[in-house]
Amino acid sequence: MSSVPAMALAGITKAFGATLAADQVAFEVAEGQIHALLGENGAGKSTIVKLLAGLIRPDAGTLRLFGQPVHLASPRAAHRLGVQTAFQELTLVRDLTVLDNMLLPYAPIGPFGLRRRRQGERLVRAHMAELELEEVDLHAEVRELDLALLQKIEIARAVFRRPRILLLDEPTSSLSGRDIDWLGRIMARLKAAGVTQLFISHRLPEVRRFCDTLTVLRNGRAIASHALTEVDDDQVIRMILGRALDQTFPAKPADRRPGPVVLRAERLAAGRLEAASFELRAGEILGVAGLQGMGQLELFLACFGMVERRAGTLAVDGQPVSLLSPADAVRAEIGISLVPEDRKTEALFLQLSGRHNASLPVIDRFTRLGLIDQAAERAAVGRAFDLVQVDRRALWTRVGAFSGGNQQKIAIAKWLLAESRILLLYDPTRGIDVGTKHELYGLMRRYADAGGAVLFYSTEIPELVGLADRVAILYGGRIAEMLPAEGLTEEAILRAVLGGSRALEEVA
Ligand SMILES: Nc1ncnc2c1ncn2[C@@H]1O[C@H](COP(=O)(O)OP(=O)(O)O)[C@@H](O)[C@H]1O
Ligand SMILES: [Mg+2]
């Protein structure tokens, strides 16, 4: 390994209006190392990535790559120096095919490009095979693919361009289990080939698995850099938050008297969901656990009118309901809302302000004689934002400018405002930092304590243990088991979701 760092930042400063997103940031990464960049949502991680990718320019400071001071005036300049990026907000073009995206921005277009195109396709195909992605249909349009696959293609594209420095901004926030293992293999291979990598993630276990060194950012400042072996998780969390995290989960109510059943599903079938029956009560957080693809997504979508039911019934307050669309679900007398895993494309309109996003489902309430009462709207949305502890700046700022955690809180504020009584949360803390997660947990508990009912799916089993009053185990499209709060442990949930030795063989 050479003694000159592959990447060295010194005094890097970048302001967006009044926000100092990077404040005299300094750290170094040795060649061939994997360096983690950690910090809460809004700490400035993506800003550093965008500076290194040539997407934005620093107000001050110097950047050296392999010892040379560089000015990255454009993404192309960064590419020429061997810097490639898989961005947090995926940058694939939705209307193009996988192949065209892989070849962008250098895709040969027009009839003269045809031969080079075939050549390009051969290269991409070989590359995808190398990355264990041979099953990806290169001619599929990107918009048809699910989020996890898009994320993998975003990574594959960056790797395809043979980086010397690879920047990975929260790649695992949309990946789970096997896909994270996949990424670990790819990163290890690149490392063996001498590629220097910057890895951003909120999950400490994978940071430990993948990375050599780390830098913690807080409020735009680099707090400290360490080798992973020098610090334990508690120290890392303290650096991230600037304080110790007293207690991860809010206390569950000690003396729980179950409220009335607000949502009842009987033999619900949709997609992989075969026949799911359960009752959700007012005042409770009902957890849902299952291996990937056991029908959990369909369960949530069916309760929100987003997929067609094949069979079975749903009842709200004892009355059978037929939810043909989300509009049916959010109607006042039903009052169901959903916060989906991909808030970027499903929960929020990124171009609109937080105020417009939040009031959209209930805009009728602020309309008098066809005109929107802006003051009333602003006041109501402001109160909802206070509840979820989002800066009131979100009232007028475009939602896309906010960090993932804040976007998630705005999505929840929207449903608080709609006064929904049933909240469907599908893996809501994915890609969210520890501090914001903590706030969301508190929010969920307060919502239940106030008489709301929460159906809560999480891929993180400790969250189910810490939050759920009961846990419904999905197996083979059915609720195979209902675990009570007493004796709820990670091990008990794991054993139940694996459904015995037969299931163990299936996942092996
Ligand atoms: N284009 C932008 N315009 C205004 N503010 C921005 C912009 N990009 C980032 N910010 C702000 O800069 C801060 C750091 O953001 P970011 O680097 O995205 O954080 P992280 O990736 O650590 O979550 C946040 O307060 C964010 O709101
Ligand atoms: Mg970010």
212-264 pLDDT per residue, tens: 999 999 989 999 999 999 999 888 888 888 776 667 788 888 776 779 999 99
Among the atoms of ligand 1, which is closest to the Cα of residue 22? 14
Ligand 1: centre distance to CA 415 (Å):
25
Q: Report the amino acid identity of residue 59.
A: D
Q: What are phi and psi of 409, to 5 degrees?
A: -70, -35
| Structure-token pair, residue 295 | 């029908």
CA distances for 447 relative to 247, 388, 436, 485, angstroms: 19, 11, 16, 18
Q: Which ligand is nearest the CA of 217, by number?
A: 1
Ligand 2: centre distance to CA 198 (Å):
13
Handedness of CA 123, 126, 131, 136 (dihedral sign): positive
252-297 pLDDT per residue, tens: 887 767 799 999 999 999 989 999 999 999 999 999 998 877 889 8
Ligand 2: centre distance to CA 51 (Å):
12
Ligand 2: centre distance to CA 38 (Å):
10
Q: Where are the domains of the chain?
A: 7-241, 261-335+422-507, 349-419
323-369 pLDDT per residue, tens: 888 888 888 788 888 887 665 555 677 778 888 877 776 677 777 77
Percent of the chain with pLDDT over 90: 50
pLDDT of residue 501: 35
Q: Is the pLDDT of residue 473 over 80?
A: yes
Q: Is the pLDDT of residue 507 over 50?
A: no
Among the atoms of ligand 1, which is closest to the Cα of residue 48? 17
Q: Which residue has the higher pLDDT, 117 or 83?
A: 83
Please identify, in words, the CATH class of the domain defined by 7-241. Answer: alpha beta
Mean pLDDT, rounded, of the chain = 87
Rg (CA), the chain: 24
CA distances for 347 relative to 33, 301, 308, 336, 502, angstroms: 37, 13, 19, 14, 37
pLDDT of residue 435: 77
pLDDT of residue 370: 72
pLDDT of residue 245: 60
pLDDT of residue 460: 84
What does DSSP assign to residue 346?
A: I
Q: What is the mean pLDDT of residues 431-448?
A: 82
Q: Which residue has the higher pLDDT, 384 or 452?
A: 452
Q: Report the amino acid identity of residue 45.
A: K
Among the atoms of ligand 1, which is closest to the Cα of residue 44? 17
pLDDT of residue 380: 83
Among the atoms of ligand 1, which is closest to the Cα of residue 433? 23
Q: What are phi and psi of 283, to 5 degrees?
A: 85, 5
Q: What is the pTM of this model?
A: 0.66
Ligand 2: centre distance to CA 96 (Å):
25
Q: Is the pLDDT of residue 505 over 50?
A: no
Residue whose token pair is 């299931």: 503
Instruction: Count Cα atoms within 13 angstroms, Cβ side, for 114.
Output: 2
Ligand 1: centre distance to CA 158 (Å):
23
Rounded to the nearest 10 degrees, the angle between the axes of helix 404-417 and helix 434-449 is: 10
| Structure-token pair, residue 156 | 């594959």
Mutate to test the pocket of ligand 1, among 12, 13, 16 (most ligand atoms within 8 A of CB): 16
Mutate to test the pocket of ligand 1, among 46, 399, 408 (most ligand atoms within 8 A of CB): 46
Q: What are phi and psi of 322, to 5 degrees?
A: -120, 110
Ligand 2: centre distance to CA 202 (Å):
10
Ligand 1 pocket (Cβ < 6 Å) reads: 16, 19, 21, 39, 41-47, 401-403
Q: Which ligand is nearest the CA of 216, by number?
A: 1
Percent of the chain with pLDDT over 70: 93
| Structure-token pair, residue 490 | 């990670």
pLDDT of residue 315: 96
384-411 pLDDT per residue, tens: 888 777 888 888 888 888 777 788 788 8
Among the atoms of ligand 1, which is closest to the Cα of residue 220? 14
Q: How would you classify the pairing of strands 371-372 and 221-227?
A: unpaired
The residue whose CA is least distant from atom 25 of ligand 1 is 42
Q: Is the pLDDT of residue 500 over 50?
A: no
Determine the CATH number of domain 261-335+422-507.
3.40.50.300
| Structure-token pair, residue 391 | 């800066």
